């Protein structure tokens, strides 16, 4: 397993085990298989587990597998979907979420604590779901005035090793957060060959994920790449039912030329998509959405195979699938 430096967390594996599949929110999976996949990930050289309360059973499974004693060198993240509550409640909500996550995972601290919400400028209106934005997005004045200072306090107290933002929200606000002081230590950014956040995108402006990753690296922050296969759109088949107008389903249809190209190479599109993401500039570690050992083995093989050849990259980029 290759390694990279993830900001202040230091050396980490190029692959991170994401909690969505393990937590049983991506497709069908049994508890036994989820537990076995957690163990297999560590055995395969993965040193970062990316958890969150929203990933259903992920944190409890981490607690059950490791019993509060993580293997040497293994790092754990968690998150909180804060939204935009009253300013007086921000710090207590972050702390309570952290307490709950630590209890579930049987840990005394986490290495990295993310604001899981989108971030938006105070006068911003979302193209989709604007009436409910206080539930899924944190307004800028609240982020700068309450969230960042609260995260800095938790870090100073030693309850978290570092803090970060899930940089999938409005790019203008994410880029502003990267430049703001105190800045996050790590940013999660979209990293796939379509540059697509899929169903995560609620705003009208371009997603600009490569710009987000580059800005974070320029500030010395760590960058975790997410959605390497765009929620299944870049695989041979989506593993869950989707409505016809779901953006992930739309991306799957749009990615048909990519699947055809992979077929001409005799390659699995999921493997190629992961190799593409691993080769993207400014990405320190790629978060996997796997739910079982078979999918994990496929991703471990993709990492072991190394970057795609220049001709393959040119052929993929030549398909014109990346969002403008």
Q: Hey, what are 106's tokens?
A: 């049987």
Pairwise CA distance, residues 96 & 82, whole Å? 11
DSSP at 71: P
Give the single-character DSSP code of 160: B
Q: How far apart are CA 230 and CA 247, in angstroms?
A: 10
CA–CA gap between residue 295 and residue 85 (Å, rounded): 38
What is the 8-class DSSP label of residue 110? B
Dist CA 54 CA 24 (whole Å): 11
Helices (H), the chain: 19-22, 31-43, 58-66, 90-105, 133-136, 140-142, 148-156, 171-179, 209-218, 247-254, 256-265, 269-278, 293-305, 310-317
* pLDDT at residue 238, as a whole number: 86
The pLDDT assigned to 241 comes to 84
pLDDT of residue 324: 63
pLDDT in tens, the chain (324 residues): 999 999 999 999 999 999 999 998 877 889 999 999 999 999 999 999 999 999 999 999 999 999 999 999 999 999 999 999 999 999 999 999 999 999 999 999 999 999 999 999 999 999 999 999 999 999 999 999 999 999 999 999 999 999 999 999 999 999 999 999 999 999 999 999 999 999 999 999 999 999 999 999 999 999 999 999 999 999 998 878 889 899 999 999 999 999 999 999 999 999 999 999 999 999 999 999 999 999 999 999 999 999 999 999 999 999 999 986
Instruction: Please say whether the beta carbons of 308 and 279 come within 8 A.
Output: yes
- By the 8 A CB rule, do 16 and 58 touch? no
pTM for the full predicted model: 0.96
pLDDT for the residue 240:
81
Per-residue pLDDT, 25 = 84
């Amino acid at each position: 397993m290759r390694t990279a430096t993830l900001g202040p967390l230091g050396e980490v594996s190029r692959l991170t085990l994401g909690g969505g599949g393990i937590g049983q929110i991506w497709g069908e999976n049994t508890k036994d298989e989820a537990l076995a996949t957690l163990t297999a990930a560590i055995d395969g050289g993965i040193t970062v587990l990316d958890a969150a309360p929203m990933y259903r059973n992920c944190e409890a499974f981490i607690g059950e597998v490791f019993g509060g004693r993580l293997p040497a060198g293994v790092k754990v993240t968690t998150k909180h979907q804060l939204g935009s509550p009253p300013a007086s409640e921000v710090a207590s909500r972050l702390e309570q979420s952290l307490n709950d996550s630590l209890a579930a995972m049987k840990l005394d601290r986490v290495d990295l604590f993310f604001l899981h919400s989108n971030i938006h400028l105070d006068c911003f209106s979302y193209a989709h779901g604007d009436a409910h934005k206080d539930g899924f997005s944190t307004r800028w004045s609240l982020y700068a005035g309450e969230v960042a200072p609260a995260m800095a306090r938790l870090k100073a107290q030693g309850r978290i090793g570092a803090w970060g933002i899930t940089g999938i929200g409005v790019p203008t606000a994410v880029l502003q957060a990267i430049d703001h002081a105190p800045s996050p230590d790590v940013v999660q950014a979209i990293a796939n060959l379509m540059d697509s956040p899929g169903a995560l995108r609620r705003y009208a402006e371009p997603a600009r994920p490569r710009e987000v990753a580059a800005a974070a690296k320029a500030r010395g922050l760590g960058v975790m790449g997410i959605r390497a296969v765009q929620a299944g759109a870049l695989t041979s088949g989506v593993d869950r039912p989707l409505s016809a107008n779901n953006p992930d389903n739309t991306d799957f249809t749009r990615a048909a030329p990519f699947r055809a190209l992979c077929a001409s190479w005799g390659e699995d599109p999921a493997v190629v998509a992961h190799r593409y993401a691993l080769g993207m500039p400014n990405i320190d570690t790629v978060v996997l959405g796997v739910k079982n050992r078979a999918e994990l083995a496929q991703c471990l093989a993709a990492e072991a195979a190394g970057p795609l050849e220049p001709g393959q990259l040119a052929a993929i980029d030549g398909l014109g699938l990346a969002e403008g």
